[in-house]
């Protein structure tokens, strides 16, 4: 029996494929490469010495997805495929709702047609919105997302909760990621953003490698210890291992279960930048800039439920995240487009 990994060529997907294969699991990957490069999957094979079926298809293409289910024995799905840039979603709401919602609905239809009832979904801490005080726990009321990307995550969580009410045999694990950074310690796979990065760590590594002149730290007048925003950065390998635990959990549980994947620690923007400089023994020029619209002062998880239900805990700290992000960037200055 295999797990279908949608979006398996992307940042989190490729790391999850490595962890799944190293644990002896069978996987099938589908990706349309709209935000990734198939070279990532070639390197997954190189890192693990294992092979797997790989399909170039859009998850919204029902005929293509049905064929994948017909050709393979799929008993569970990890659904990473989706568009994820917050700012772009404000400019292109139709594309975001179309891609993220339709892909999920088509996937659920095809799963139903093939009697597959186990889904692990990539949700986000963004569903907590602005009204909750960290550490954020899964019982807190969900907030109102401030952008179309966040709304797709909230809407898909609702769809999956409704589905689990209707189908008592269905298991949906809604993994709420905090801030994934880092890369595989080999430096062979990592985050490969298109254009100028929006997120902090890829921006820092591109300054470090000389592609960008300096980092702008967005605001140093927040009500936090050093005035810059706090986030719960999590190493992508820890995050990937959380998916393995979630797939196993879904085998013995039904219903929709939201679970945070974070470390529980809040680090500031300057903590991250200074740790990066210290661990990698280099300078990263930065300036303090105005606040960025929509940023919350502090977002970090309570990770207790993941430990309780999944038996999962993070192993890597901020130093390893900074070391591995840089190791990836310096060995692949142009990402997979070398
Ligand atoms: P990514 O863009 O690197 O990976 C997504 C993959 O899905 C890409 O390979 C892309 O080509 C593929 N894809 C997109 N739409 C598709 C479609 N319709 N059909 C087939 N393939 C498609 O992003 P990531 O950082 O690996 O994120 C994975 C998931 O986790 C996404 O759903 C994202 O919203 C969610 N998430 C990410 C973060 C983060 O900070 N990286 C935080 C919270 C949630
Ligand atoms: N930051 C800077 N300079 C930069 C980029 C970011 O100072 O060039 C700061 C931001 O202001 C923020 C922190 O670094 O304080 C982290 O910003 P990111 O953009 O890396 O991450 P966010 O927490 O804003 O966003 C993440 C995910 C989104 C998700 C959101 C809410 O990238 O997908 O968390 O959970 F929606």
pLDDT, tens only, 274-325 = 999 999 999 999 999 999 999 999 999 999 999 999 999 999 999 999 999 9
Residues with CB under 6 Å of ligand 2 are 84, 86, 124-126, 150, 179, 198-200, 203, 215-218, 229, 231, 269, 292, 295, 299
Measured from the alpha carbon of residue 32, the closest ligand is 1
- Tell me the sheet residues that pair with 136: 301
Per-residue confidence in pLDDT tens, the chain, 338 aa: 999 999 999 999 999 999 999 999 999 999 999 999 999 999 999 999 999 999 999 999 999 999 999 999 999 999 999 999 999 999 999 999 999 999 999 999 999 999 999 999 999 999 999 999 999 999 999 998 989 999 999 999 999 999 999 999 999 999 999 999 999 999 999 998 888 999 999 999 999 999 999 999 999 999 999 999 999 999 999 999 999 999 999 999 999 999 999 999 999 999 999 999 999 999 999 999 999 999 999 999 999 999 999 999 999 999 999 999 999 999 999 999 86
| C-alpha 150 to ligand 1 mean position (Å) | 13
Vertex 100 angle, CA 232 and 91, to 5°: 80
| C-alpha 166 to ligand 2 mean position (Å) | 36
Is the distance from CB of 319 to CB of 279 less than 8 angstroms?
A: yes
Report d(CA 248, CA 170) in Å as an integer. Answer: 14
| C-alpha 56 to ligand 1 mean position (Å) | 15
| C-alpha 270 to ligand 2 mean position (Å) | 13
* Total residue count of the chain as it appears in this document: 338
Is the distance from CB of 109 to CB of 163 less than 8 angstroms?
A: no
C-beta 218 within 6 A of ligand 1 = no
Measured from the alpha carbon of residue 206, the closest ligand is 2
**16's tokens:** 């999850």
Q: At what angle do helices 200-208 and 318-331 cross, to 10 degrees?
A: 50
| C-alpha 275 to ligand 2 mean position (Å) | 17
Q: Considering only CA atoms, which residue is closest to atom 26 of ligand 2?
A: 179
**81's tokens:** 């495929």
Is the distance from CB of 105 to CB of 81 less than 8 angstroms?
A: no
Catalytic residues: 149
Which of 151, 199, 286, 291 has most ligand 2 atoms within 8 Å of its beta carbon, as the pocket-test mutant? Answer: 199
Measured from the alpha carbon of residue 126, the closest ligand is 2
Report d(CA 236, CA 234) in Å as an integer. Answer: 6
Q: Considering only CA atoms, which residue is closest to atom 11 of ligand 2?
A: 218
Concatenating the DSSP letter of every residue in 83-107 gives ---HHHHHH-HHHHHIIIIIHHHHH
Report d(CA 122, CA 153) in Å as an integer. Answer: 8
Vertex 243 angle, CA 238 and 244, to 5°: 95
Ramachandran assignment for 30, one of left (phi > 0), alpha (psi -120 to 50 degrees), beta (any other): beta
Task: With H, G, I as helix, E, B as strand and everything else as coil, classify residue 56.
Answer: strand
Going by C-alpha positions, the residue among 270, 219, 268, 261 that lies closest to residue 241 is 261
HSE at residue 231, side-chain half, CA atoms within 13 A, is: 23
Q: Considering only CA atoms, which residue is closest to atom 3 of ligand 1?
A: 10
Report d(CA 320, CA 26) in Å as an integer. Answer: 29
The pTM of this model reads 0.98
Q: Considering only CA atoms, which residue is closest to atom 16 of ligand 2?
A: 200
């Amino acid at each position: 029996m295999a797990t279908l990994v949608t979006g398996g060529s992307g940042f989190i997907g490729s790391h999850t494929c490595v962890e799944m294969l190293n644990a002896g699991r069978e996987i099938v990957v589908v990706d349309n490469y709209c935000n990734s490069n198939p070279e990532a999957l070639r390197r997954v094979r190189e890192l693990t010495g294992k092979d797997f079926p790989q399909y170039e298809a859009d998850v919204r293409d029902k005929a293509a997805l049905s064929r994948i289910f017909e050709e393979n024995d799929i008993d569970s799905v990890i659904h990473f495929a989706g568009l994820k840039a917050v700012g772009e979603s404000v400019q292109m709401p139709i594309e975001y709702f179309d891609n993220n919602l339709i892909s999920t609905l088509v996937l659920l239809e095809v799963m139903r047609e093939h009697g597959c009832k186990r889904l692990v979904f990539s949700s986000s801490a963004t569903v907590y919105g602005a009204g909750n005080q960290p550490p954020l726990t899964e019982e807190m009321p969900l907030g109102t997302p401030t952008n179309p990307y966040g709304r797709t995550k909230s809407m898909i969580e609702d769809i999956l909760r409704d589905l689990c009410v209707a189908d008592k045999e269905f298991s949906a694990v809604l993994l709420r990621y905090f801030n994934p950074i880092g890369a595989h310690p080999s430096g062979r796979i990592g985050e490969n953003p298109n254009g100028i990065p929006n997120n902090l760590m890829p921006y820092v590594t591109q300054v470090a490698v000389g592609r960008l002149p300096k980092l702008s730290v967005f605001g140093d007048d927040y009500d936090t210890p050093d005035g810059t925003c706090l986030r719960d950065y999590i190493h992508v390998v820890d995050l990937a291992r959380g998916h393995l635990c979630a797939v196993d959990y879904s085998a013995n549980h039904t219903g929709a279960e939201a679970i945070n994947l974070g470390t529980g620690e809040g680090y500031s923007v300057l903590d991250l930048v200074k740790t990066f400089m210290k661990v990698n023994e280099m300078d990263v020029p930065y300036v303090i800039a105005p606040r960025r619209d929509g940023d919350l002062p502090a977002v970090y998880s309570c990770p207790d439920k993941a430990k309780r239900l999944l038996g999962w805990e993070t192993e890597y700290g901020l130093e390893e995240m900074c070391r591995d992000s840089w190791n990836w960037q310096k060995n692949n200055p142009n990402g997979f487009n070398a």
